[in-house]
Amino acid sequence: MKTQPLLDLAEAMAQAKDPFAPFSKFLGARGGRGFFYGFAALSTGLAQIRSGEGLHFRHSYSREWEDVVGPQALIDNDHSIEAMDNGERMVEWMPTDCATWLETLSPKQRRQFEIEADLGMIYGTSLLLDGHPAGFSGMGIWIETQRSPEMFRRGWNKFGAELTAASNLLDVAVREARPNLLVRLTPREIDCLSWLAHGLRPKEICWRLGISEKTFEKYITSAKAKLKSRTRDQALAKAVLLKLLPL
């Protein structure tokens, strides 16, 4: 594995306004057609991740994929998430013995596989990234140029180590350094959560920020939705774990 391109990529992602742009360029130069990256603040298990609660994501798949499948269906019906939850760190989308493998899928998983295959999304891999003290990070990489499992493996043997390392670098650049790129809390939402974390009551926060209690609740409700949280306490915990607050 060549280290200089990865060092250049890490520097480019650190300096870029959008770290996904240099990552996409790096991926494309190695045969990648698209990616799906996601992280969760809490290690809450497969059931919650598959229901979409807590997963923040971004992808570069086609608009057609978005219209036909959509990211929520990917979470619900993606067999690779189940495999990674069972300990796999790398899952090929198209195994060599496809017929036998298809029999192991649920009807919904099989239907999604067939739809994505019709869109040309046949060869690729899903990666469980290096991980964090809390949470989950994963990457799906679509390799359009391959035409057989054997061709995919030859290509992955050539570029797989670099693409895995690049995916982990992106994870650090986003989840560790700039998670709000995906969460998208506003400055006022961060203010409200920060003062809650310092132990202030809502009335005290409203006085400090010069807002009404109704406006405060609006900010908190919006922050809960963005943090994919059911309660104020859960939203606050996730914001702290993701280092979104200036504590």
**Quick one: CA dihedral 24, 28, 34, 36, positive or negative?**
negative
Give 135's pLDDT tier (boundaries 50, 70, 90). Answer: confident
> Which of the pair, 145 or 161, is modelled with greater confidence?
161
pLDDT of residue 53: 60
**Is 143:33 a contact under the CB 8 Å cutoff?**
yes
What stretches of the chain adopt beta strand conformation (E)?
34-40, 55-59, 90-92, 124-128, 136-142
CATH number of 184-241: 1.10.10.10
Considering the entire predicted model, what is its pTM? 0.90
pLDDT of residue 83: 80
> Which of the pair, 84 or 138, is modelled with greater confidence?
138
For the residues 51-66, what does the mean pLDDT come to? 81
pLDDT of residue 161: 95
Task: Specify the CATH class of 4-176 in words.
Answer: alpha beta
Residues of the chain with CATH 3.30.450.80: 4-176
Give 52's pLDDT tier (boundaries 50, 70, 90). Answer: low
Residues of the chain with CATH 1.10.10.10: 184-241
Lowest-pLDDT range of 28-32, 83-87, 160-164: 83-87
> What whole-number percentage of the chain has pLDDT above 70?
91
pLDDT of residue 206: 97
pLDDT for residue 134 is more than 80: no
The overall average pLDDT reported for the chain is 88
Q: How many whole angstroms separate alpha carbon 24 and alpha carbon 27?
A: 5
Give 27's pLDDT tier (boundaries 50, 70, 90). Answer: very high
For the residues 210-219, what does the mean pLDDT come to? 97
pLDDT of residue 41: 84
> Which of the pair, 180 or 117, is modelled with greater confidence?
180
pLDDT in tens, 217-237: 999 999 999 998 989 999 999
